[in-house]
Amino acid sequence: MNMVSLWRYPPQPELIETNTGLPSPKYFQLHPFFIWKPEHSIMERLRNNYILPCLYRCQNPNVVSSGVGRPRVILGITGQFYILASRLCCKACKRYWFADKPQWLDILPQRFRNILPAFLTHKKAICKTVMDELRRSGKSPNDMANQLSEVLHLKFERAHLAYLLSVQNVRDAEAGLYGQKTITGALRKDDTPAPFGDYGDTDGWNGVYVSAHYLIECLLHEYQRQEAALTQLLQGTFGQVFRSDHTRKVARKVTLLSGTMSSYAVMNENWMILFWVMLQSESEQSLESMYCGLSNRYSVAGIPKAKYQWVDRDCCAAFRVMDPGPYEHQQWEAWRTTEATVAEVTSGNLKNLHAACRKFNEDMVVKLDLFHCMRRFTRECVSEHHPLYGSFCQFLSSAFSVVDQGDLEKLKNAYRFCGIEPSNPTKLHIREHCRTKVPHPRELVQWVEEVLHHFYLAKDPNNIFLFKPSMLKLWWIQRIHILRGCLSDPEVEEGILYRYGGTLQLNHVKGDGAAVPIWIPVRGTSQQEGFHFHQAQWVTGNRVSPELFQAQGMTGVARWNYQRLVDLKQPGVVLPGVFDPVLMRVKQGIYKCDRATQISSLAHLQQGHRREVWPAICGARLSTCAS
Ligand SMILES: [Zn+2]
Ligand SMILES: [Zn+2]
């Protein structure tokens, strides 16, 4: 096979024979060329019988070469190269253009654009490798500009070194270092090596500088290319359980021109993001349109709506709590829950006004997230370093969650089967193999109250109370949530609170008796916290335009969701190895259109080969939208 390629590489300067002269610096810092001549015979196979179109769309185009254009410099991850495009002429309408003109590239079949190593716009050109790296790393344009600049300068410095070594090599041979002296030095008139020049010399190397601004433009352009596919993926994300929370992490880091305060995200049971917005006010009204849209998303797809939502605030109807008197917190009477208290807080209009209930699903069961509630308690301690802080947290956490006795009994049986005596499961085993539940309101109030009773007057050796006086008011507030059932776990089917993660043989002992189930908690804030951490990472730099913020945020969210699916390792679900929505969508389109490819992909499937099913499961509507 002939080695046909559109790439042209520069010579290796060290290998060029110099005869009598010292090496010339002009060969040492040269870059590859990519020849772009769609009209040329080198691209005959790609063209096939296709007739190149005229940029001006005339009826019977006759596109021929009309010389070469100016090389465009392209920045890649490993350095720069040039695209050398031909100048084209349509003989039918007598008009001219360059073969790398984006408007013309856009009318060419996909196979042409796909072999171009860069994305071209009317002003900018960026190598696909740079966009891949930006998308993969989520780096800020500033960091990326620094990285590219370093690569370019390192290449230059190495080329300079290569030149110096080549000169030295000639001199060493002439000095007889390798035995016999060469006589080339004697033949040379001028013995001074030519200066190598500086990186920025405009009449010399004219090294490229890359600015963050340039990369931002490229990134925005790439986002425009990806936007439809990203939106489709997000709109194809559903869930049966929601968890939502507010965070100021992003807003603290980034100054948005719009002056937004906090970010609000809704996740599903697999921690995939359904939507994420930046809020200017934390009032519920601002969320209405988002939940309307979400409701629409479910209706259009014909998917049953989520029934449960764990929130970080606004879990039930609003209420007011009086301020306690100055020393009230020192009298147990003030903490105690009476029947009158219970009656008072659980009567009247308890209708929840959460935006999700009003605009998404009026039967939505809204629950206050346990960890957010616990954090409210621990914040009312004087300090994390108070000696009693640790045991208070422990007591509180065991009051809020009870271990499923059936699961515990099963685990104990497995202990006995394996001959472990006494059969008291370790904390770690309980966490992995037993489900826990937040108890019913009356039970829960009693248990938390017992913990508070234990600690409400507790002091350290320096007579410092563990609780701030404000703990009493906090208890009055949280007690209402507890009594209204905002915290108690609903009776639900599997997959809402816990996901079954298969079984494990305890201590690697064989036999059914040693098999214990693995329960993966669906609730929990670690993934939520993880998301907030990532959110802040996607948006790098502390001043961004709304456009860039949108681009980085959308890409980040879609990528996050993709990673959740990878982590889930659902049986039968095969995901593409890389995250590039447009690439996937185009590939899917080809599979769908071409019967022969369909059949071969089916054959592949039957032979147990991989198939991309991400769009199929994540974007439930993807196939219908794309067709
Ligand atoms: Zn024409
Ligand atoms: Zn509540």
Q: How far is the CA of 270 from the centre of ligand 2 (A)?
A: 24
Q: Are residues 487 and 509 in the same domain?
A: no
Give the Cα separation of 413 and 429 in Å (integer): 13
Handedness of CA 558, 560, 566, 571 (dihedral sign): negative
Residue 278 belongs to a domain: yes
Closest listed ligand to the CA of 89: 1
Q: Are residues 449 and 480 in the same domain?
A: yes
Residue 128 belongs to a domain: yes
Give the Cα separation of 433 and 425 in Å (integer): 10
Region 583-589: mean pLDDT is: 78
Q: Are residues 122 and 260 in the same domain?
A: no
Paired tokens of 577: 């190895």
Q: How far is the CA of 560 from the centre of ligand 2 (A)?
A: 30
Q: How far is the CA of 117 from the centre of ligand 1 (A)?
A: 27
Closest listed ligand to the CA of 346: 2
Residue 565 belongs to a domain: yes
Give the Cα separation of 169 and 150 in Å (integer): 28
- For β-strands 241-247 and 308-311, DSSP reports them as parallel
Number of residues in the chain: 627
Q: Are residues 562 and 476 in the same domain?
A: no
Q: Which amino acid is at 198?
A: D
pLDDT in tens, 292-331: 999 999 998 888 999 999 998 889 988 889 999 989 999 9
pLDDT in tens, 41-57: 989 989 999 999 999 99
- Among candidate residues 210, 245, 262, the one where a domain is terminated: 210
pLDDT in tens, 378-435: 999 999 999 999 999 999 988 998 898 999 999 999 999 988 888 889 888 998 899 9
Q: What is the mean pLDDT of the chain?
A: 85
Between 412 and 585, where is the model more confident?
Answer: 412
Q: How far is the CA of 93 from the centre of ligand 1 (A)?
A: 4
Closest listed ligand to the CA of 318: 2
Closest listed ligand to the CA of 63: 1
* Cα–Cα–Cα angle for 150, 151, 154, rounded to 5 degrees: 80
Cα 529 to Cα 244, 247, 498, distances in angstroms: 12, 9, 19
Q: Please answer whether residues 478 and 376 qualify as being in contact, where contact means their C-beta atoms are separated by less than 8 angstroms.
A: yes
- Smallest CA-to-CA distance from 187 within 18, 48, 357 is with 18
Between 493 and 165, where is the model more confident?
Answer: 165
Residue 227 belongs to a domain: no
Residue 504 belongs to a domain: yes
Q: How far is the CA of 400 from the centre of ligand 2 (A)?
A: 15
Q: Are residues 446 and 514 in the same domain?
A: no
Q: How far is the CA of 293 from the centre of ligand 2 (A)?
A: 25
Q: Are residues 10 and 94 in the same domain?
A: yes
pLDDT in tens, 137-191: 777 788 889 999 999 999 999 999 999 999 998 888 888 888 888 777 777 777 8
Paired tokens of 346: 């659980």
Between 122 and 257, where is the model more confident?
Answer: 122
Q: Are residues 586 and 501 in the same domain?
A: no
> By mean pLDDT, which of 129-133, 350-354, 524-528, 620-624 is the weakest?
620-624
> By mean pLDDT, which of 38-47, 323-332, 586-595, 606-615 is the weakest?
606-615
CB within 8 Å of 327: residues ≥ 6 apart: none
Whether the pLDDT of residue 515 is over 50: the answer is yes
Q: How far is the CA of 437 from the centre of ligand 2 (A)?
A: 18
Q: Residue 524's pLDDT band (boundaries 50, 70, 90)?
A: low
Between 284 and 360, where is the model more confident?
Answer: 360
State the pLDDT at residue 123: 75
Q: Are residues 473 and 358 in the same domain?
A: yes
Task: Give the H/E segment covering residue 118.
Answer: strand 118-120
Q: Calculate what percentage of the chain has a pLDDT beyond 90.
A: 38
State the pLDDT at residue 420: 85
Range of the domain at 80: 1-210
Residue 228 belongs to a domain: no
Between 86 and 618, where is the model more confident?
Answer: 86
DSSP-assigned states of every residue in 237-299: ---SEEEEEEE-HHHHH-EETT---EEEEEE-TTS-EEEEEEESS--GGGGHHHHHHHHHHHH
Give the Cα separation of 471 and 448 in Å (integer): 13
Between 554 and 533, where is the model more confident?
Answer: 554
Q: How far is the CA of 444 from the centre of ligand 2 (A)?
A: 14
Q: How far is the CA of 60 from the centre of ligand 1 (A)?
A: 7
Closest listed ligand to the CA of 60: 1
Q: How far is the CA of 72 from the centre of ligand 1 (A)?
A: 25
Q: Residue 597's pLDDT band (boundaries 50, 70, 90)?
A: low
Q: Residue 255's pLDDT band (boundaries 50, 70, 90)?
A: low
Q: How far is the CA of 89 from the centre of ligand 1 (A)?
A: 8
Q: Are residues 418 and 390 in the same domain?
A: no
CB within 8 Å of 155: residues ≥ 6 apart: 29, 79
pLDDT in tens, 356-371: 888 999 999 999 988 8
Between 611 and 515, where is the model more confident?
Answer: 515
Closest listed ligand to the CA of 313: 2
Q: In 247-284, which positions are buried (b, 16+ CB within 10 angstroms) versus exposed (e)?
A: beebbeebebeeebebbbbbbbbbbbbbbbbbbeeeeb
Whether the pLDDT of residue 208 is over 90: the answer is no
Residue 219 belongs to a domain: no
Q: What number of other Cβ atoms are within 10 A of residue 211's Cβ?
A: 12
Q: How far is the CA of 268 from the centre of ligand 2 (A)?
A: 21
Closest listed ligand to the CA of 64: 1
Between 600 and 565, where is the model more confident?
Answer: 565
- Smallest CA-to-CA distance from 314 within 280, 274, 269, 364 is with 364
Give the Cα separation of 137 and 538 in Å (integer): 9
Q: Are residues 558 and 598 in the same domain?
A: yes
Paired tokens of 340: 């009158």
Region 203-215: mean pLDDT is: 86
Q: How far is the CA of 102 from the centre of ligand 1 (A)?
A: 17
State the pLDDT at residue 540: 61
Closest listed ligand to the CA of 372: 2
Cis peptide before 109 (omega within 30 of 0): no
Q: Please answer whether residues 559 and 579 qualify as being in contact, where contact means their C-beta atoms are separated by less than 8 angstroms.
A: yes
Q: Are residues 606 and 480 in the same domain?
A: no
Q: How far is the CA of 480 from the centre of ligand 2 (A)?
A: 7
Region 375-380: mean pLDDT is: 94
pLDDT in tens, 213-254: 888 888 888 888 889 989 888 888 898 889 888 888 777 776
Q: Are residues 448 and 424 in the same domain?
A: no
Residue 421 belongs to a domain: yes
Q: Calculate what percentage of the chain has a pLDDT beyond 70.
A: 90
What total of structural domains would you count in the chain?
4
